[in-house]
């Protein structure tokens, strides 16, 4: 069952490269009591990255001219990403290496943790199986990234009927060094994420929360971030997405509503 969950998780991650969405991000990067910074964006995959286009709380543009300027920038990014040149191949190779590292990290969770069944819990009309995740003392890390699993524990909620990860909640149990000794994430830092079926067979994030404290060189940092993900909509790889964005720009010229004014 865990093997199926991991295989599905990798497919879900790949889908983020062809699905646009609305993200509402609330960040606290100062001491307690600091006012949060809130950013709401239409996030559109653009081949070798993703464009974040500011929108209002309803997911619609607040400034038509500024929004059009951002769409034109996105059009240029997609046009570049859709070409088959040396620069594009280098950029995609770099992305492929990052995706490979991410996939290996997901694969490692299968043996890096010991999973103990705790209970079954309802969520809406689904039943989730809750598992406790504890570091496996027999696991041998294969990289600096996988070595962090020895300092993490928490819980995973799995929809066994769908073989999908529905929720994960983990805590850092010991300080983690990053980049040698250049940075450190302190014990007690926390991460949580909820996932739902956003398209047939695809379980994508609906909510994420990071609460990290640490230091970078000799400067302490505190990052507390909450992100809500809504309005997932398949836009496709760069050539397909380019046609969609150009169509949206064409409708804007005619004074007709584009996809940003609809509910994907």
DSSP string, 146-211: GGGGGGEEEEEEEETTTTEEEEEEEEE-S-EEETTTTEEEPTT-EEEEEEEEEETTEEEEEEEEEE
Q: What's the mean pLDDT in 204-228?
A: 90
DSSP 54-99: E--TTSS-S-HHHHHHHHHHHHHHHHHHTS-SHHHHHHHHHHHHHH
Average pLDDT, the chain: 91
Indicate if the pLDDT at residue 87 is higher than 80: yes
Indicate if the pLDDT at residue 255 is higher than 80: no
Label residue 143 exposed, middle or buried (CB < 10 Å: 0-12, 13-18, 19+): exposed
Give pLDDT, residue 219: 84
Tell me the three state secondary structure of residue 46: coil
Q: What's the mean pLDDT in 187-204?
A: 96
Cβ distance 199 to 177 under 8 Å?
no
∠ Cα 47 106 182 (to 5°): 80
Give pLDDT, residue 263: 40
Give pLDDT, residue 211: 92
Which residue, among 236, 165, 240, has the nearest Cα to 204 in the 3D structure? 165
* Two tokens, residue 178: 């990053």
pLDDT cut 70: percent of the chain above it: 93
Query: Any bridge partners for residue 177, and if so which?
Result: 184
Indicate if the pLDDT at residue 221 is higher than 90: no
Indicate if the pLDDT at residue 122 is higher than 60: yes
Indicate if the pLDDT at residue 110 is higher than 50: yes
Task: Say if pTM beats, i.e. exceeds, 0.85.
Answer: yes
What are the boundaries of each domain within the chain? 2-261
- Range in 18-32, 226-240, 243-257 with the lowest mean pLDDT: 243-257
Selected residue with higher pLDDT from 176 and 46: 46
Instruction: Round to whole Å and give the CA distance between 215 and 22.
Output: 31
Give pLDDT, residue 33: 67
Cβ distance 245 to 238 under 8 Å?
no
Question: pLDDT tens digit string along 155-189?
Answer: 999 999 999 999 999 999 999 887 666 788 889 99
What region does 135 belong to: left with phi over 0, alpha with psi -120 to 50, or beta?
Answer: beta
Instruction: Round to whole Å and give the CA distance between 108 and 112.
Output: 6
pLDDT cut 90: percent of the chain above it: 80
């Amino acid at each position: 069952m865990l093997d199926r969950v991991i295989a599905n998780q990798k497919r879900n991650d790949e889908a983020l490269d062809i699905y646009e969405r609305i993200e509402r991000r609330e960040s606290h990067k100062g001491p307690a009591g600091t006012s949060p910074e809130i950013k709401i964006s239409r996030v559109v995959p653009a081949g070798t990255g993703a464009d974040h286009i500011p929108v209002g709380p309803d997911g619609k543009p607040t400034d038509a001219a500024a929004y059009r300027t951002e769409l034109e920038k996105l059009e240029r990014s997609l046009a570049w990403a859709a070409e088959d040149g040396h620069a594009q191949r280098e950029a995609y190779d770099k992305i492929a290496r990052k995706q490979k590292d991410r996939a290996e990290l997901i694969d490692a969770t299968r043996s890096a943790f010991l999973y103990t069944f705790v209970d079954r819990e309802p969520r809406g009309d689904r039943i989730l199986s809750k598992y406790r995740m504890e570091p496996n003392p027999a696991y041998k890390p294969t990289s600096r990234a996988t070595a962090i699993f020895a300092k993490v524990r928490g819980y995973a909620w799995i929809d066994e009927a769908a073989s999908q990860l529905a929720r994960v909640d983990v805590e850092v149990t010991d300080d983690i060094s990053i980049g040698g000794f250049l940075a450190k994430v302190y014990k007690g830092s926390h991460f949580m994420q909820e996932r739902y079926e956003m398209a047939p067979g695809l379980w994508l994030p609906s909510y994420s929360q990071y609460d990290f404290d640490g230091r970078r060189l000799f400067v302490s940092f505190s990052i507390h971030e909450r992100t809500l993900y809504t309005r997932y909509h398949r836009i496709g790889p760069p050539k397909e997405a380019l046609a969609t964005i150009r169509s949206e720009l064409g409708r804007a010229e005619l004074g007709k509503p584009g996809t940003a004014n609809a509910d994907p």
